[in-house]
Amino acid sequence: MLRARVLLMAAVAVLCSTVAASAQDGGVTVPRKSMFAKLISAEKVEASAALQYDQMTRQAFQKSALLEDYDPQVKRVRAIFEDLYPFTFKFNERAKDWKWEVNVLKSPSINAFCMPGGKIAFFTGILDKLQLTDDEVAMIMGHEMGHALWEHARERAAKVNLTNISSRVIGGLLFGQAGEMIGAAGSSLAALKFSRNDETEADLIGLELAARAGYDPRAGITLWKKMASAAQGAPPAWFSTHPSNATRITTIEKNLPIVMPLYEKAKAAKG
């Protein structure tokens, strides 16, 4: 038993190791994906996410909480997504084959997420209460897309499975058992809590996606200041899965010299 435990811990140590990926085309440097992710089929996790997302949007529609395609808010976030999408392939080639979806749900909750396979949802609360600019929306969307592109949910599922913590949770991730709605929407894959490293990686990816798409990456700083202000009362739902701390702004500031040239180039191309 002891020998088996030692072998397991050794395997965990190997799988936990990451190798720094070199920046390409003047972009940010993001650690390579954890080897943990390879322990679980990407197709299974993405299929589960698709089922959960479908259930979530159907329930929202039944409650008149799913905004119509012609709604200005829907058009706005989808237009921003279209700008960011072409730059996702650098971070995950499979993103070309994902059936991306972007929807807006009527809920006062300050929340947004992107599930595996490109299933994106914004709540009206985060758009309206924070009075987000397009640049800030792009930063949030890029961050959420970063989680999906870097397969953080797949990695978390593998870690849970490997360490045998909560078979019920992993069962939900793999077999599409959607969780209860949170307000107007929500599910187990949409409500995952990521590690600090995951959050930093998603911040970096989002920063580059936004910059390459012509959105001012400095908006990441104003965004987190708005989130901190909103958290002075009841913490926004986004904080439950996206812990905020001063290091996030520091990370953004540290990488601004890298991404600002990308932003300026994209801005000039747009005329």
Residues with catalytic roles: 144
For residues 240 and 234, what is the distance between their CA atoms, to the nearest angstrom? 11
Decide if 123 contacts 110 (C-beta within 8 A). Answer: yes
For residues 147 and 37, what is the distance between their CA atoms, to the nearest angstrom? 13
User: CA distances (Å), 227 to each of 94, 116, 230, 264, 270, in order?
Assistant: 32, 24, 5, 26, 30
Q: DSSP state, 158?
A: H
User: CA distances (Å), 260 to each of 47, 143, 211, 215, in order?
Assistant: 36, 17, 7, 10
**Among 45, 46, 180, 59, CA closest to 101:** 46
Q: For 246, phi and psi rounded to 5 degrees?
A: -60, -25
